[in-house]
Copies of this chain bind each other. A is one copy, B any other.
Amino acid sequence: MRILPAKSFSTKREEDYGTPEQNRVVKEIIERVRTEGDQALFYYTEQHDRVKPDKLRLEEAEIQAAYEQVDEPFLQAIREAAANIRAFHEKQKRNSWMDPQPDGSLLGQVIRPLKRVGLYVPGGKAAYPSSVLMNAIPAMVAGVPEVVMVTPPATAGQPGINPYILVAAAEVGITEIYGVGGAQAVAALAYGTESIPAVDKIVGPGNIYVALAKRYVFGAVDIDSIAGPSEIVVLADSSADPAYVAADLLSQAEHDEMASAVLVTPSAELAEQVRREVSRQLAELPRKAIAQRSLDDYGAILTVDSLEEGIEVVNRLAPEHLELLLEEPFRYLGAIENAGAIFLGEYSSEPVGDYFAGPNHILPTNGTARFSSPLNVDDFLKKSSVIYYSRQALLENGRKIITLAQHEGLQGHARAIEVRLEKELEKEENRDGGN
């Protein structure tokens, strides 16, 4: 790893909007699924996944059969992880509220879950059971009544869905699973087909075709943010164990050649120790080639003059994952403005959050922690404003509303209030006349 001064180092990468050819292909797939429905899904599944299913939805028995293919330690670990994730996300729930006014009006906000959410799960090597948990549980906790899953019907050319994925889905309560992947699956979720009713929101990672398809259907349905390559920044002082720092940097670097792992430290000694420790640990890593490439292109050890400068660098980079391997990590928590997830102290290694502790591992990447948040229960809720205006409120405020409408040249708005004020006046006159 390179040791650099922190000044102008950036982890920012240009977003991938696909090639014109990729965009054309995705558009064609989506239009065809939109017009031809299931028929197009079968066509593309045969083309892309080289399997010829006779139906799209998995039978309950197929899902249950997956349990026989997974080992007991995995099952126990994923059950406990799911319980932790559920407990954490329960804390994010919110109530609808009403705010009664002195004039008898009622204002408020109704908060409801979305009705139907589709979770995309990639096939092949990027099929992570932990991602099924992290995407589905916040939706379930929000109260979404229909959470459905789509995933390619074949893994690396072999027919059959990864059993670990199916078990993860079953464990969180997903029973509606379709064996269809790629842009065609996204199109089906967005517009609906004979077999797959349309959803309100699509979440989950995928390759460039899936990402482009999500971008394309956004508006017809909601989508989650398009995840960029993974990132970690470790802010460490001389109290940090170089072996821990190196292992944590490598745990991100092994994800992807585009992943970014950065150490920020005021300790020149730690910088040098970590550099050596990374080389040593890297040699033992099965995904060595990927990690090496990631460290060469997007990794760095950044030296700073002080922890305060280190905090500034962190806030500028706005990392997806931030570890504070500091003697007093909580002392600096309040100064962290931009980070997806913040891990404090020597036992809070980043994989603790990836798999088990409870917070979500779907986090803002590529500097978007400046304005984005980890996937959470709010992402599956929607709000409606509620306005009940009393007679007294309209009589007291009607003229002010008319004034504002007229200043914007919207006479029709003013008339909607005037017609009521006139009628109320009339009623009063009639009452007075009756006396």
CB-CB contacts of A346-370 with B at 8 A, as 1s and 0s?
Answer: 1111111111111110010010111
Q: Indicate whether A423 reaches chain B with its CB closer than 8 angstroms.
A: yes
Is A164 interfacial (CB 8 A cutoff)? yes
Tell me whether B403 and A337 are in contact (CB under 8 A).
Answer: no
Q: Is residue A1 within 8 Å, beta carbon to beta carbon, of the partner chain? A: no
Shortest A365–chain B CB gap in Å is: 11
Chain A contacts to B: CB under 8 angstroms: 15, 73-74, 76-78, 80-81, 88, 91-92, 94, 97, 99, 105-107, 109-110, 112, 114-115, 125, 128-130, 164, 200-201, 219, 221-222, 241, 243-244, 247-248, 250-251, 253-255, 281, 284-287, 291, 329-330, 333, 336-360, 363, 366, 368-374, 376, 378, 381-391, 393-394, 397, 400-401, 403-405, 407-417, 419-420, 423
B369 touches A374 (CB 8 A): no
Determine the distance from Cα of A342 to Cα of B253 in the docked complex, in whole angstroms. 49
Please measure, in the bound complex, the distance between the C-alpha atom of A252 and the C-alpha atom of B145, giving whole angstroms: 34
CA distance A110 to B403 in the complex (A): 42
Number of copies: 2
Separation of A397 and B76 alpha carbons in the complex (Å): 11
Contact A393 B360, CB 8 Å, known A342-B386, A385-B353: no
Q: List 15 A-B contacts (CB under 8 A).
A: A73-B400, A77-B400, A110-B342, A112-B337, A115-B337, A129-B404, A253-B412, A284-B415, A286-B409, A349-B420, A355-B413, A356-B400, A373-B383, A374-B384, A376-B383
Give A352 to B386 CA distance when docked, in angstroms.
Answer: 12
B413 engages A351 (CB within 8 Å)? yes
Q: Which residue of chain B has the shortest Cβ distance to A374 in the bound complex?
A: B385
Residues in B with CB closer than 8 Å to A386 are 333, 341-342, 344, 359
Tell me how far the C-beta of A66 lies from the nearest C-beta in chain B, rounded to whole angstroms.
13
Alpha-carbon gap, A247 to B389, bound state (A): 17
Partner of A352, one of B76, B344, B389: B389
Cβ-defined contact, A409 with B351, below 8 A: no
A254–B413 touching, CB < 8 Å = yes
What is the distance, in angstroms, from A13's C-beta to the closest C-beta of chain B?
A: 11
Chain B residues within 8 Å of A346, by CB: 420
In the assembled complex, the CB of A12 is this many whole angstroms from the nearest CB of chain B, namely 9
Residue in contact with A251 in the complex, picked from B91, B353, B388, B413, CB distance below 8 Å: B413
Report chain B residues within 8 Å CB of A368: 219, 222
**Max chain B C-beta neighbours (<10 A), residue from A286, A337, A412:** A412
A391 CA to B350 CA in the complex, in Å? 14
On chain B, the residues within 8 Å of A363 by CB distance are 385
Chain B residue, CB-CB nearest to A78: B404
Partner of A382 from B222, B244, B372 at Cβ < 8 Å: B372
Contact call B285/A393, Cβ cutoff below 8 A: no
Q: Which residues of B contact A353 (CB under 8 A)?
A: 385, 387
Which residues of B have CB within 8 Å of A372? 222, 382
Residue of B nearest to A406 (CB): B74
Flag if A351 contacts B385 (CB, 8 Å): no
With A and B bound together, what is the CA distance between A391 and B76 in angstroms?
21
Chain B residues with Cβ below 8 Å from A88 are 99, 107
Q: Select one of B91, B221, B357 contacting A389, CB under 8 A.
A: B357
Q: Out of B81, B125, B343, B405, name the residue touching A400 (CB < 8 Å).
A: B81
Q: How far is the CA of A394 from the CA of B350 in the complex (A)?
A: 12
**Is there an interface contact between B350 and A416, defined as CB atoms closer than 8 Å?**
yes
Task: Assess the B416–A247 pair: CB atoms within 8 A.
Answer: yes
* Complex interface: chain B residues within 8 A of A397 (CB): 80, 352, 356
A342 surroundings in chain B (CB, below 8 A) = 110, 384-387
CB distance from A202 to the nearest CB of B (A): 10
